Amino acid sequence: MAQTVGFVPTMGALHDGHLSLVKKSLAENDLTVVSIFVNPAQFAPHEDLTSYPRTLPKDIEILENTRSPGAGSCETRYPAAVFAPTANEMYPSGIVLEIAEQKGAFVEVKGFSHQMEGQTRPTFFRGVATVVTKLFNVIQPTNAYFGQKDIQQALILKRLVTDLLMSHPTPQNLHIVPTGRDLTDGLALSSRNLYLSPAGRKVAPTLRQALLAAEIAWNGGATKHETLVRAITVMDAAIRRAHREGLTAGIKLDYIEMNDTKTFEVLDAQARKTEGSTVILSGAFYVDKTAAHRQYSAG
């Protein structure tokens, strides 16, 4: 019988959030491939491509020590391969960050890449869609695993494989895995958390607290407007508390919004939860200079 291949694309600087994807893939597939590639095409010229953490030897060591039992078997599985290509291998026509100067093939998921995170990062999802298409072509996975932390990315990629009629993976085999968090304060694990100052690290879970309060309000019947007011009130209070405690991390709200899961359209201010519906409640803010994201679907 043909072996199944699970695939986990990453940019490295691996943490337990990445490893939850890897373990799910190990459990569900005969073979698991993890890619580690800091993709230039998803960075705008002013973003952190050169300073993005690169820890390949440590990442490989971590993966060598990551194992999981196969579902329904007593076999212990380890990742079968790490794919860590160079930029030249991934972009044979070359790659520059200025879109106007780029040459070669790029992939765009039109109509879904300008909302939410795409507002401040208008070319980000084009870079992600392009690299993931290339990676899927190389690995030809049966199943692929993405984090709910980046819910817009995962849903765009589902649309990508649907619209391009891809078979490896099929849309049904592109899986979204719950966000791995710091067990003490709930901050979503992220490679960019390495950038945070001690003060920034303390303040960063604020967004999660705000969105959790908003989720409770929404599930309790609040309108979208009331839900977002709740989130912003909680955030403001947490930021004021941090300042009183002398934490000097620079904080700037990027956005908090509620969007339709299928179209990504912004919900009407008076919209309320309806039975069985799912919406995206998401937000981002800058701490120090790092974007701390918490994105999730509220049932």
Contact mark string toward ligand AMP, 129..148, x via CB under 6 A: -----------------xx-
Longest alpha-carbon distance in the chain: 63
**Is 18 one of the catalytic residues?**
yes
Q: Does 290 bind ligand AMP (CB under 6 A)?
A: no
- Among all chains, which residue has been given the structure tokens 């959790």? 212
| Strand-pair partners of 199 | none
Of 130 and 179, nearer to ligand AMP (C-beta) is: 179
Q: Does 156 bind ligand AMP (CB under 6 A)?
A: no
| Min separation Cβ 148 and ligand AMP, Å | 7
| Min separation Cβ 8 and ligand AMP, Å | 7
Q: Is 34 left (phi over 0), alpha (psi -120 to 50) or beta?
A: beta
Q: Does 177 bind ligand AMP (CB under 6 A)?
A: yes
Q: Does 20 bind ligand AMP (CB under 6 A)?
A: yes
CB 269 within 8 A of CB 239: no
Contact mark string toward ligand AMP, 209..248, x via CB under 6 A: ----------------------------------------
Please return the burial class of 75, using the count of CB atoms within 10 Å of its CB with bins 0-12, 13-18 and 19+. exposed
Q: Does 10 bind ligand AMP (CB under 6 A)?
A: yes
Q: Does 257 bind ligand AMP (CB under 6 A)?
A: no
Q: Does 17 bind ligand AMP (CB under 6 A)?
A: yes
Q: Does 292 bind ligand AMP (CB under 6 A)?
A: no
Q: Which of 189, 207, 234, 280 binds ligand AMP (CB under 6 A)?
A: 189
Q: Does 180 bind ligand AMP (CB under 6 A)?
A: yes
Based on DSSP, count helices (H) and strands (E) in the chain, helices before strands.
Answer: 9, 10
**16-38 per-residue burial string, b: 16 or more CB within 10 A, e: under 16:** ebbbbbbbbbbbbbbbbbbbbbb
* Nearest Cα residue to 150 out of 3, 10, 33, 2: 10
Q: Does 200 bind ligand AMP (CB under 6 A)?
A: no
Of the candidates 15, 18, 114, 175, the residue annotated as catalytic is 18
Please give the full DSSP string across 5-37, using - where no structure is assigned.
Answer: EEEEEE-SS--HHHHHHHHHHHHH-SEEEEEE-
Q: How far apart are CA 79 and CA 31, in angstroms?
A: 7
Contact footprint for ligand AMP (CB under 6 A): 10-11, 17-18, 20-21, 146-147, 149-150, 177, 179-180, 188-191
Residues involved in catalysis: 18
